[in-house]
Amino acid sequence: MTSTKTATTPGSNRLQLTGKESPFGDWRDDLVRDGYAVIKNAIPRQRADGYADEMYSWLEGFGLGFDRHDLKTAHNNHLPIINEKGMCWWYSLAHEDFVWQMRAEPGVVGAFETVYDTKDLIVSFDALNFTFPQRTDLAPNSPWPHQDQNPDTQGFRCLQGLVNLLPNGPNDGGLIVCKGGHLLSEQFHAEMKHEARIKGFFHEWYGYTDAGMKWLADHGLHWEKIIADPGDLIVWDSRTPHYNLPSTSDKPRFCIYTCYMPVADVSQEDLKRKKEAFETFRTTSHWPNANFLGGRDATRDGNPCPYNRHEPVKKPQLDERGYKLTGIPYIQ
Ligand SMILES: [Fe+2]
């Protein structure tokens, strides 16, 4: 008897995001066309609410007077250090157990398995975002349009993601993307090669200047603020220009950044560096190969924050899926 099933090597049907892929009839069509997609209910609502609760409890757990029921307490004096863009990279937050549980959510990691056509993935140890409305104790969050892929490299390489955990409407702050920018990326960088680059925090970052923003507009591209519900996963091609907006409403915005890439794309050196980051509870950028390690300690008023910690409150309790995402089992 002859099987009609054709065996393929994992990864061989990975999406390339050229804009020419055949229709799939799901969120992949949005991703191919627009360079981003919203995957509704990637995490069931009850579990998403649970992660938001964990984030609030983590803030309150510092004992500095923050109270989720009184947003006037969303002030530097009552909170760990969170920057004006809502990012918190410090205090080993990236390795709290609840963050790891979110990373192993089947609806989240499954989306990346679909795009990369493999289950052999590693995950980033990235920041979380706590954007509170009308904070007057921080510098304004001015736009920093950028892409998160070195423009000297070509094609689709990395799919970024964030899990949205609170209702996020048009005025609640959050991700804004340049729709379809991934498809013009190569042309943009060829034509703008002469331009001096904005200094980035590492080599996989490129900032758009005013001239770059004009180029995008002149080529018919528009920016779109993404609207999302708790439990929605937002994914975007790292070539798609993006940044985040401050909230102009009275509602906070919480999300967890999470990004996966195939083990096949990373070196043994990457995996060893990643192992060390995992074992010492370090934060990386969104690149899962740990090509950038964040500083361990937050700074408060020019000095090390007295509340710095180098271990999570609750260390990760990983199941087999979660442990594989650290990359450690793939070290030879
Ligand atoms: Fe980014």
When mean pLDDT is compared across 7-16, 204-213, 278-287, the lowest value belongs to 7-16
Mean pLDDT, the chain, whole residue set:
94
Q: Provide the pLDDT for residue 296.
A: 82
Q: Provide the pLDDT for residue 11.
A: 87
Q: Provide the pLDDT for residue 199.
A: 87
Give the mean model confidence (pLDDT) for residues 94-122: 98
Give the Å distance between the CA of 165 and the centre of ligand 1: 18
Give the Å distance between the CA of 177 and the centre of ligand 1: 10
Q: What percent of the chain has pLDDT over 70?
A: 98
Q: Residue 223: how many CA atoms within 13 Å on its side-chain side?
A: 19
pLDDT in tens, 203-230: 899 999 999 999 999 999 999 999 999 9
Task: Specify the amino acid at residue 4.
Answer: T
Taking every pair of C-alpha atoms in the chain, what is the biggest distance, in angstroms?
A: 74
Give the Å distance between the CA of 332 and the centre of ligand 1: 32
Give the Å distance between the CA of 244 and the centre of ligand 1: 9
Q: Provide the pLDDT for residue 146.
A: 96
pLDDT for residue 2 is more than 80? no
Give the Å distance between the CA of 147 and the centre of ligand 1: 6
Query: How many angstroms separate the CA atoms of 167 and 59, rounded?
Result: 19
Instruction: Kindly report the CATH number that applies to the domain delimited by 34-295+318-330.
Output: 2.60.120.620
Q: Provide the pLDDT for residue 311.
A: 96
pLDDT band at 6, cuts 50/70/90?
Answer: low
Give the Å distance between the CA of 146 and the centre of ligand 1: 6
- Between vectors from CA 305 to CA 299 and to CA 306, what angle results, nearest 5°? 165
pLDDT for residue 4 is more than 70? no
pLDDT in tens, 65-78: 999 999 999 999 99
Give the Å distance between the CA of 148 and the centre of ligand 1: 5
Give the Å distance between the CA of 70 and the centre of ligand 1: 30
Q: Provide the pLDDT for residue 7.
A: 62
Q: Provide the pLDDT for residue 137.
A: 93
Give the mean model confidence (pLDDT) for residues 82-107: 97
Domain residue spans in the chain?
A: 34-295+318-330
Beta bridge partners of 303: 300
Give the Å distance between the CA of 63 and the centre of ligand 1: 31
DSSP letter string, 151-165: TTS-S---EEEEEE-
Give the Å distance between the CA of 10 and the centre of ligand 1: 28
Q: Provide the pLDDT for residue 5.
A: 47
Task: Specify the amino acid at residue 266.
Answer: V
The answer to pTM > 0.85 is: yes
Backbone angles phi, psi at 161, to 5 degrees: -155, 160
Give the Å distance between the CA of 44 and the centre of ligand 1: 26
Give the mean model confidence (pLDDT) for residues 276-302: 89
pLDDT band at 293, cuts 50/70/90?
Answer: confident
Q: Provide the pLDDT for residue 277.
A: 95
pLDDT for residue 54 is more than 80? yes
Write out the two tokens for 137.
């104790």
Query: How many angstroms separate the CA atoms of 34 and 179, rounded?
Result: 5
Q: Provide the pLDDT for residue 319.
A: 95
Evaluate whether 292 touches 285 at the Cβ level (below 8 Å).
yes
pLDDT band at 294, cuts 50/70/90?
Answer: confident
pLDDT in tens, 112-160: 999 999 999 999 999 999 999 989 899 989 899 999 999 999 999 999 9
pLDDT for residue 238 is more than 80? yes
